[in-house]
Amino acid sequence: MRVLVALGGNALQRAGGDGSWQEMVRQMRATAPALAALARDGHELVVTHGNGPQVGALLRQNELARREVPPRPMSVLGAQSQGEVGLLVQQELTQALTVARVPRTVVAFLSRMEVSAKDPAFRRPTKPVGPYYAESEARLLRKREGWAMDYDGARGGWRRVVASPRPVRWLEAEAVARVLGEGGGATYVPVVAGGGGVPVVARAEGRYEGVDAVIDKDLAAGVVGAALSVELLAVVTDVPAVAVGFRKPWERWLGAVSVEELTAHQARGEFAEGSMGPKVEAALDFLAHGGRRVVITDIPSLGRALRGEAGTRVERA
């Protein structure tokens, strides 16, 4: 079975950690054996991942070094983070596969994701990125850079906000599909569409142009899954399953659930936009476009979730 594992930020950086490379290595080293176990069990494996903390760090480096080094556009920083995290996944997953005696080559692909220039998200930026600023700094950045800024009352600071358009098409899909074709899934493990892919819009004469935006990584995983004819999408997060009434007295964890039931929960607003909402939306979108099964769980539960013993499991009828 071809499995797409969409790694959340917890697989790369611990909440409240220092964000160092050493910390990222430790986190990925703890994650990799669960992925290698899927390959050892005979599954074809494709990996995608988040990049929020890494892009945030690059944006901060941009700010600190701007007097000496010209700052790079956000789309370029997205590409840089794909290289950074791709290297990390390559190194740690290769080692885990070696220990598991699974002879596969991990290959990271620089991935672009086309978005529509007419997406309404560009008219109303909502996705916070980068560091927090004092009001005086925010005022200067709005004037000097033309940034949209929003105030975070909980943190007492201002942050830049950018558009979060829906992914339309993964431009490298055909190339990766060829790599996996004719038995390639038993030879290679592609790492693709990191951070949702570099957002680009189509211009004249086949040219694509990067844009300052953030694509939701879970929605992008649904696009990748459909493009590669993936049978099962595993959305990895920091909780063992999806819950309704999360952190309320009536909290209930979902195990095996139908598409109809999950859709009904979503329609009632059970899943927050900034956390489980995009994961559930990606799951439903993946199933609507030909995918067979979705599991939503954490790394320790991943293997059991694929066996139907843990996590939230959704299967298309």
Beta carbons of 93 and 195 less than 8 angstroms apart: no
Catalytic residue among 10, 210, 277, 303: 10
Q: Is 118 a catalytic residue?
A: no
Catalytic residue among 9, 130, 291, 311: 9
Buried b (16+ CB within 10 A) or exposed e, 36-45: bbbbbeebbb
State residue 291 phi and psi, 5-degree precision: -65, 155
Q: Is 143 a catalytic residue?
A: no
Between CA 75 and CA 150 the distance in angstroms is 21
Catalytic residue among 8, 50, 217, 311: 217
Angle CA(305)–CA(310)–CA(315) in degrees, nearest 5? 60
Q: Is 127 a catalytic residue?
A: yes
Buried b (16+ CB within 10 A) or exposed e, 200-209: bbbeeeeeee
Catalytic residue among 56, 279, 291, 311: 279
Residue whose C-alpha is closest to residue 7's, from 86, 76, 79? 86
Over its C-alpha atoms, the chain yields an Rg (Å, rounded) of 19
Catalytic residue among 56, 127, 194, 196: 127
Between CA 197 and CA 228 the distance in angstroms is 15
Q: Which residues are catalytic?
A: 9-10, 127, 217, 279
